[in-house]
Structure 1
Amino acid sequence: MIRGASLRGFARVVEELDGDPGEFMGRFAIPWQALTSEEGLIPITSHDLMLDAVARELRCPDFGLRLACRQDLSILGRLALAIQASSTVADALECASRFLFVHSSALSVGVEPDPRGCREVVALTYRKDLRESPYSPQAMELGLGLFHQVAMALVGSLAGLRAVELPHQPLSPVSRYTNFFGVDVKFGCPTAALRVERRLLDEEFRSADAVIRRLAVDYLTSHHTDPERLVSTHVRRALAGSLGTTPAAIGHVARLLAMHPRTLQRRLAEESTSFETILEDVRQDLALRYITTTDLPLGQVAAMAGFADQSGLSHAVRRWWGASPSEVRRRVRGTS
């Protein structure tokens, strides 16, 4: 999932391109409330597929970068307070890395050694967990573009920015990227990153406030649980990695997690969920991924999403989205 605030500015940019934001949101089953809700969550796969579809159908290859220009740190909600009140860039990055799961558990930022081997340079990385959702070029450009915008706003300038790296090949003319980031941009890299001089980590923020930061961190800690500490997270990953190859049985997953099935059921109940609920969510996510991002025959999609046959897939897809798998594939791709 991802917070609906990630779509702030979406409707205005689509309208400027003579598109209909309501049509796109309806096609991807994203409610209009997502554009105004600060805390509402939407499926990140649907969110990302919609960004790619808008860019493709409205012939706007730099859509992600355009949307990044309409956003700022405030889309992170209460996490933004903790970041702004941090004392240094390093302090802010540590906070963002620790709590970005509040915005989306599929996304992460970090500070890593320079991929080019320069000792005086570090990489500020931006990643999406592909176990949770497929790669999206537009969503990646939105995220890294916003990361750059936020850093500029907090530090005042990025005179120490050496280069930018993106995993995919350019969607727009390379000059569009260099004009946006102000430095050289490399493509086809292992990880999306801003390569910056190490000294920037020690830059102090004018907005630093130890009291506000402590209050914000205390709130985030008390109101949100890191998904890595939840049994349901590990059940979801176990199912996502095994559906289509092994039976979707609680006993099998319990063995993978070194638990008794009754213990697993009890732990999931404590997290206000169940094995059946997680299985349904995983099947839905995998079905959407394979139907919309591949040309696999629907019988093969059914097997890979853990259904006994194509009929089971069809019944489930109609229950989830009110259409057949073929209709969902055409709808998402914008084809007749």
Structure 2
Amino acid sequence: MSAMIRGASLRGFAALVAELGGDPGEFLERFAIPAQALTSEEGLIPITGHDLMLDAVARDLGCPDFGLRLADDQDLSILGRLAVAIQASATVAGALECASRFLFVHSPALSIAVEADPRGRREVVALTYRKDPRESPYSPQAMELGLGLFQRVAVALVGSLTGLRSVELPHQPLSPVARYTEFFGAQVRFGAPSAALRVERRLLDEEFRGADAAIRRLAVDYLAGHHTDPEGLVATHVRRALTASLGTTPPVLARIARLLRMHPRTLQRRLAAESTGFEEILQDVRRDLALRYLTTTDLPLGQVAAMAGFADQSALSHAVRRWRGASPGEVRRLTRGGA
């Protein structure tokens, strides 16, 4: 299965799009996202379609700060049960550890971490926010939504971010720089290696007034008991091996098994225990790669077919029509804003 994100990430989306003069339903249809995603926050939607849709809304409706504006409509509660564990933590460091451990429940493609300051200051740490490029391509609007929400949550938990030194973004500004400094209340630097909030190390020891060890333990036990970290699944590693090699080497089970240092029959048994199989994963990877190349690049269709592991362009066309009910060219035009 392709990387997903909870529908809660679209909280406020419909109202904001309508306010900008757009039709939320039209955007959902263009990116094959079910309409119930706007009402069922626990439902899962493909993160690539989600992110491409945010970029398209910003472009088509002339709203370059769409991600930041959407972040203004959201809060910690979009994380569901994970929010309970975070709020009940004793310190900022504990809340970050919990969020880092279980963010896969919201989306396995996203991660946060506490890292050394990229500018080398010992009294400063970087609270990084990343999307795994193996799972989904980079999206400027989604990155601004995620980092903007990260900052809002931090302020809500601590009371203020007086120790915020700067905000780092990997892309160049989409809006006037003043818009960023107004939103984050700090200097914003662009073209950084990763998205991050650079904060004074002392903030990690800040204590929460609402700390409750019993509630945190119950919330953590629930998350651990009801959700499996994808990093522990064999299917995740098969998917990544196929993603890295499809289009360059034949997608043969025996070769993938060797890469994972398993006997082919052992690999088949492990996948069956996870309620999936090699061919099912292969078809998912082909679909995800084909749609990714169609919607995020201008590669010729023949090259897209080859890179996604199809025999020829005709096979790609038949597959895309089966998935989306449209030709590859039509899918490409729709996601780029064409009629």
> Is 1:121 aligned with 2:112?
no
> Alignment partner for residue 137 of structure 2, among 129, 134, 139?
134
Larger mean Cα displacement after TM superposition, 79-88 or 280-289 = 280-289
Structure 2 residue aligned with 1:226: 229
> Alignment partner for residue 51 of structure 1, among 36, 49, 54?
54
> Alignment partner for residue 280 of structure 2, among 277, 281, 294?
277
> Is 1:323 aligned with 2:326?
yes
> Alignment partner for residue 105 of structure 1, among 96, 99, 108?
108
For the aligned residues, what is the CA RMSD? 0.6
> Is 1:235 aligned with 2:238?
yes
- In structure 1, stretches of 5+ residues that fail to align are none
Deviation digits for residues 73-100 of structure 1 (CA, Å, limit 9, x no counterpart): 1111110000000000000000000000
> Alignment partner for residue 312 of structure 1, among 311, 315, 336?
315
Percent of aligned pairs sharing the same letter: 82
Structure 2 residue aligned with 1:81: 84
1:310 Cα deviation from its structure 2 partner = 0.5
- Taking structure 2 as the reference length, the TM-score comes to 0.98
SS of corresponding position for 2:165: strand
> Alignment partner for residue 189 of structure 2, among 173, 183, 186?
186
1 CA distance for matches of 2:254 and 2:301? 28
2 CA distance for matches of 1:298 and 1:136? 23
> Is 1:7 aligned with 2:10?
yes
SS of corresponding position for 2:321: helix
Q: Which amino acid aligns with 2:86?
A: I
SS of corresponding position for 2:142: helix
Deviation digits for residues 255-312 of structure 1 (CA, Å, limit 9, x no counterpart): 1111111111111111011111111111111111100111100000000001011111
> Alignment partner for residue 152 of structure 1, among 146, 152, 155?
155
Deviation digits for residues 216-268 of structure 1 (CA, Å, limit 9, x no counterpart): 00000011111111000000000000000011111111111111111111111
> Alignment partner for residue 292 of structure 1, among 288, 292, 295?
295
1:38 Cα deviation from its structure 2 partner = 2.8
Q: Which amino acid aligns with 2:104?
A: F
Structure 1 residue aligned with 2:96: 93
After superposing on structure 2, the runs of 4+ consecutive aligned residues of structure 1 that deviate more than 4 Å are: none
2 CA distance for matches of 1:17 and 1:77? 28
- Taking structure 1 as the reference length, the TM-score comes to 0.99
> Is 1:37 aligned with 2:40?
yes
2 CA distance for matches of 1:130 and 1:263? 29
Q: Which amino acid aligns with 2:55?
A: D
